[in-house]
Homo-oligomer: A and B are copies of this chain.
Amino acid sequence: MSNNDNRNFVEQIADIDTDFPKWYTDVVIKTQLVDYGPVKGTMVIRPYGYAIWENIQRELDKRFKATGHKNAYFPLLIPMSFFTKEAEHVEGFAPEVAVVTHAGGEELAEPLAIRPTSETIIGNMYSKWIQSYRDLPVLINQWANVMRWEKTTRPFLRTSEFLWQEGHTAHATEEEAMDETMKMLGVYKEFAENCLAIPVICGRKTEKEKFAGAVATFGMEAMMKDGKSLQAGTSHYLGQNFAKAFEIKFLDKDGVQKYAYTSSWGVSTRLIGALIMAHGDRRGLVIPPVVAPVQAVIVPIAAKKGGVMEACRKIKCDLESAGVRVELDDSDSSPGWKFNEWEMRGVPVRIEVGPRDLEAGKVVLFRRDTCAKDAYSLENIVAEVGALLNSVQKDMLECARARRDARIVDADTLEELLKGVDAGKFVRAGWCGCRECEDAVKAQTAATARVFAEENTHEKCVVCGKPAKHSVFFARAY
């Protein structure tokens, strides 16, 4: 019976090795993380998916507050005229904007954009709030929905509307604003690695790939299981660009009126797509414990045998008291069916409670990441589960890191670069710094410049052979 269940179940998901895109769609839909909304390109984040987002929010929000930021909320609708105040910004965002033209039964005097990002409206408010150096720095974050009209969409990865946080800060000096930009990139990296168990490569982006209106954009890139890169977060140093466009000026200590320096930084529900594609396997999701909606599931074996359900309930109660997010699956399905279901849903630890093990004072713990299982003493079960969750969290990161590091190669020629990305690798190569060579890489390999490596370890540009200004990570990307 449980073998049949097993077979039927696994057949529901496309094979991860032969059809990764279909595997992704199958997994997000069948595990009820998400569903398609009635308007093309929109998604509904279902409770199981939203619970991951709540855990992400909790962890990030804690870190933002620990670094001195406060949350606020700015309006959804932005006058279209605001966008034209920063030349690069309007060019980058105007084509993707959704526009409100009518409201309250009347046509509006000025059309309003649904925010694709909030630098403009926040800049407008900061110009009112900031008068003196005493008002600086301003360190504000917003949790909000944003909208960017996209032609091709995929749940979590690219949808018309998505949820995110956007930090917006203003400072008296260039140095402070730059420090903030790098500090928040560091917060993202630490969060990605310690909470999502995703190793990331951080670095500066090229002019072509930077945020529209920024002086410099720094990104963090994560390798997915198909070898493609996913931009998992960005931090922008905006210089005085938005300060000049929105008149964010302050009277400095020296009595001189100056423009402020600003930064912005954000991550989104895209991170859920990142963790699915960084950790998932043929059985489905593998969710790191820190952000897993359910960290441990208890499955009774031969539930009708004396003592089994009582033991399950006691374990649940003890784990809950210890702060573990735990569920007891007491439904009518067979244990085999439950195993498959909870494996597909990526629950980090399964606790199997059967009469024979119980007699021996033991239960079986299964860990989702390695699919290993072993018997443990029932007496220490709370400590054992806690320790196992810690191991899963740590090992998932190390495993992902080893997998990624084995798939980073260097290239000296375009042919090598192409061979690398065809094999699902990140390719580090020299770049002269000119747009033509960057475009040539894309045209010939479908890979884009993700971020600059910290050090320049290449002598020549992979395209033109001129001296390399940067070593760049190239990859195909989501």
Task: Please give the residue numbers on chain A whose beta carbons come within 8 Å of chain B beta carbons, in ascending order.
Answer: 35, 37-39, 42-47, 49-51, 53-54, 70-79, 82, 94-105, 111-112, 114, 121, 124-125, 128-129, 140, 144-145, 147, 149-151, 160-161, 163
Contacts and interface: CB of A to CB of B under 8 A. Distances in A.
Given A37-B121, A125-B44, A73 B50 contact: yes
Number of copies: 2
A147 B76 contact: yes
A103 B116 CA distance: 12
B96 A72 contact: no
B38 A124 contact: yes
A458 B287 CA distance: 61
15 contacts: A35-B125, A37-B125, A38-B78, A38-B121, A44-B72, A44-B73, A50-B72, A50-B73, A51-B71, A54-B71, A95-B104, A99-B101, A102-B111, A103-B160, A104-B151
Given A51-B71, A71-B51, A97 B103 contact: yes
Most buried by B among A96, A97, A149: A149
A114 B96 contact: no
Nearest to A163: B73
Given A98-B102, A100-B98, A103-B98, A71 B42 contact: no
B47 A72 contact: yes
Given A47-B140, A75-B44, A77-B42, A105 B95 contact: yes
Nearest to A104: B149
Contacts of A150: 104
The 5 closest A-B pairs by CB, nearest first: A104-B149, A47-B70, A98-B103, A42-B75, A45-B73
A70 B98 contact: no
A375 to B, nearest CB: 33
A17 to B, nearest CB: 31
A160 B124 CA distance: 19
A37 B82 CA distance: 13
Which of A42, A100, A144 has the most chain B CB within a 10 Å cutoff?
Answer: A100
Nearest to A95: B105
Nearest to A96: B104
Nearest to A32: B129
Given A100-B99, A104-B149, A74 B124 contact: no
Contacts of A39: 75, 77-79, 112
Nearest to A97: B103
A71 B50 contact: yes
A50 B72 CA distance: 5
A38 B124 CA distance: 8
B149 A103 contact: yes
Given A47-B140, A103-B160, A144-B145, 8 more contacts: A35-B125, A35-B128, A38-B79, A46-B72, A50-B72, A98-B103, A104-B149, A114-B114
A368 to B, nearest CB: 22
Contacts of A97: 103-104
B95 A99 contact: no
A42 to B, nearest CB: 4
A105 B95 CA distance: 6
Nearest to A142: B50
Contacts of A112: 39, 98
A74 B38 CA distance: 10
A116 to B, nearest CB: 11
A227 to B, nearest CB: 30
Which of A70, A82, A103 has the most B CB atoms < 10 Å from its CB? A103
Most chain-B Cβ atoms within 10 A of its Cβ — which of A53, A72, A82?
A: A72
A37 B75 contact: yes
B125 A75 contact: no
Nearest to A43: B75
Nearest to A331: B134
A121 B54 CA distance: 22
A411 to B, nearest CB: 36
